[in-house]
Amino acid sequence: MAIVRDDSTGLITISTQNTSYQMKIDSIGSLIHTHYGAPIGESDMSPQLFRMIRGFSSNPNETGFTDRAYSLDVLPQEYSCFGTGDYRITSLAVRYENGAKASRLKVQDCEILPGKYGIEGLPAVYGDDNEAQTLKVTLKDEETDLGVELFYGVFSDYDVITRSARIINNSDTTITLEKAASLNFDLPSGSWDWITFYGRHAQERCLSRASVRHGIEAIGSVRGISSHHYNPFSVLCEPTATETAGSCYGFALVYSGEHLMEVERDSIDQTRLVCGIHPDNFSWILKPGESFNTPEVIMTYSHDGLGQMSRNFHRIMRERLCRGPWKHRRRPVLINNWEATYFDFTGQKLLEIADEAESLGIELFVLDDGWFGVRNDDDKGLGDWFPNEEKLGMTMQELTRKITDKGLLFGIWFEPEAISEDSDLYRAHPDWAISIPGRKPAIDRRQLVLDYTREDVRDYIKTCLLKMLDENPISYIKWDMNRSISDKFSHGLDAKHQGEFAHRFVCGLYDVLETIYERHPEVLIEGCSGGGGRFDAGMLYYTPQIWTSDNTDAYDRLRIQYGTSFGYPLSAMGAHVSAVPNHQTGRVVPMHTRGVVAMAGTFGYELDITKLDEGDKAEIREQIKTFHRYYDLIQYGEYYRLSAPEDYCTVWEVAAIDKKEALVSAVYHGIPAYPPAVRVPVFGLDPTANYQIDILDLDEKYAKDYEKLTWQSTHIINGIVMSGAALEHGGITVPPPFFDGIAWQIFIHRLEDG
């Protein structure tokens, strides 16, 4: 059993393959956290909690005068409350009808249920009775009849536990939630680093690592979306933790809206992390009998460093968060016309790109922005989701038929949450745009955001999108969202419910996406928000891949994809080869290198392939063959970060689950003169088997230059044989660079007699 409850002691122990999570119902009904980390069996860890009388740390009234050392202010808890003696950051803040805000939760019941719990209207990890269990702990504030149900989803084989809470108003008066976090996690001792991922548009998920200091630190978003700026994923780890060693705790919020992650190190060196919906734009009214579900948090622990922690997240997200036919179906290699044409295209130009795409082996043609309404720039037309047949020179049905007749799949871009003031939709329904009465709203890209809290707005969008999908052979949607939400106000909510706007907006988004999924599960949806502005676990439930960044520069993508990999799998990362000089940075990087970088993702192209020379076209054909050959390895293999982008050679690896093969990719960037050798271990192989090392593309692209290196270096690794143990503990030396920007792909495969 993954969950064991001992009624005689109040001890509850959750076991996964490599971890233990433990809590205890104590003598006065508090739910105390006692352990999360390496396996401990069913040993009671609560005696290890250090207790002493501490001034200005209140004692619960139930203790009377007999135990002045008992204080919620210093005890590690599973779900903390504001106002009754815990003065740290807390999980729950409730304002009652009389204006009081204090709550005190005690355990009422504990149930162990088969399978994984679900959350109505919200994305969540899923699992059947054979692979998951649910622990449900019911708590109650006895003075107010406030109820809280804590849910723990346990995936033993994945070393993953999920967390969510349901807050229930069992009283006969109305209450208001002012903070309702999904997770409270306490570490009663130790020094810790906090790893977060900050950024901006076109520079997403930059890694930041710093010691948790005394006081409160936080990341979050009040932009209506999870944002480019602070991803809803973070890590607590030992200061000495590396990719391969050390204790690491990872937390991924399954939510696409306004979020907050707080960390506090208190005066006695305890560390608390609280995660959930951002409270700044949140207040939720619960009438008698009503309840509120918090978003889910996925958490995992690794004793073997950051790499194993990441692989735990990759596996659970690939296998038990992503859904539908495209979870395991091979994703098509695509060409997107955006950086080829921007808004300046005709149907004939699109067909010319499609002709070239078919000849190169590309499988999916994607029509980006500019095909609808009056839309020749980003000033107008959003919301008018009707094909501009005058611009196309044909109907959408004719265009899609001509492209699919070439053997290509057809995809299309939408920005369904946006509305332009210069649009027929806005002129007909100005109240559908998010804006505050009497205040001129802030404008971004000359567009506003549709009010997805309203059912009539969602119904309009559903009708438009479903009509396009019903009438045309569309296999793919790029779902974009290109601005932060300001001037938050819904004309469909009264004044006292405006605090519910931000969360209702996200729930409305999920409702539209779920409707599209249910009607057309065969359509692959790629999420996008100006690139990676909504790259979060919540979107992966509906869109199994997400455009990682609008920045397609290969060097910048090394860092962006590196940061993204800490929480998210390669199969989720939209990555394309684009033109040079790059449209974002002006940098020129070889076509081969751009391809190697884009293969660490879903892989595709975003440039005018009709203007390429024959050499680049030949390279594209080879890239597509390579990606197809190693598709399963790249998408479903175990991912290892072998060096960081801060080095002058970024190296990563994917190893097959069955340990038969691995692919090591390396990109040199900013090399110094006569650089030191780059030597990396190769993980995930059978230590007792022998493996042959082959350098891909050596015979065609770099053979002559590689041979020239023999007078510079005697290290020529192509064709050599090494054991799995030697590859891990001795490593391989990446071939030297003979120019800046060169990329190598090294294929390592087991010999049958090895």
Neighbours of 440 (CB within 10 A): 8
Instruction: Give phi and psi for 96, each to the nearest 5.
Output: -90, 170
Helix (H) or strand (E) holding 220: strand 215-220
Half-sphere exposure of 198 (CA within 13 A, CB side): 7
Active site residue 550: yes
Instruction: Give phi and psi for 199, each to the nearest 5.
Output: 170, -160
Tell me the CA end-to-end span of the chain in Å, nearest whole number.
39
Residue 728 class from Cβ within 10 Å (0-12 exposed, 13-18 middle, 19+ buried)?
Answer: middle
Cβ contact 714:742 at 8 Å: no
CA–CA separation, 18 and 20 (whole Å):
7
Cα-based distances in Å from 337 to 341, 343, 370: 6, 9, 11
Active site residue 556: no
CA–CA separation, 110 and 69 (whole Å):
27
> How many residues are there in the chain?
754
Instruction: Supply the DSSP string of 452-506, one letter for each residue.
Output: TTSHHHHHHHHHHHHHHHHHS-EEEEEE---S---S---TTS-GGGGGGHHHHHH
146-155 and 248-254 as β-strands: parallel, antiparallel, unpaired?
Answer: unpaired
Neighbours of 739 (CB within 10 A): 9
SS3 699: helix
CA–CA separation, 638 and 565 (whole Å):
12
Cβ contact 531:204 at 8 Å: yes
193-200 and 203-211 as β-strands: parallel, antiparallel, unpaired?
Answer: antiparallel
Cβ contact 333:362 at 8 Å: yes
Cβ contact 604:338 at 8 Å: no
Neighbours of 676 (CB within 10 A): 9
CA–CA separation, 462 and 275 (whole Å):
32
- The one-letter code for the residue type at 314 is H
Neighbours of 26 (CB within 10 A): 17
Residue of 73, 451, 550, 616 marked active site: 550
The CA-based dihedral angle spanning residues 120, 184, 200, 194, taken in that order and rounded to the nearest 10 degrees: -150
Instruction: Supply the DSSP string of 552-586, one letter for each residue.
Output: --HHHHHHHHHHHTTTS-GGGEE-EEE-SS-TTT-
Cα-based distances in Å from 382 to 340, 460, 754: 21, 13, 60
Under DSSP, the state recorded for 674 is: S
Cα-based distances in Å from 433 to 165, 337, 436, 500, 534: 32, 29, 10, 17, 21
CA–CA separation, 288 and 181 (whole Å):
21
Closest CA to 416 of 485, 471, 349, 465: 465
Residue of 369, 480, 553, 616 marked active site: 480
CA–CA separation, 722 and 732 (whole Å):
9
Cβ contact 166:91 at 8 Å: no
Q: The tokens 């005066």 sit on which residue?
A: 267
Residues contacting residue 188 through CB under 8 Å, at least 6 positions apart: 33, 49, 50, 76, 270
By annotation, the residues acting in catalysis are 480, 550
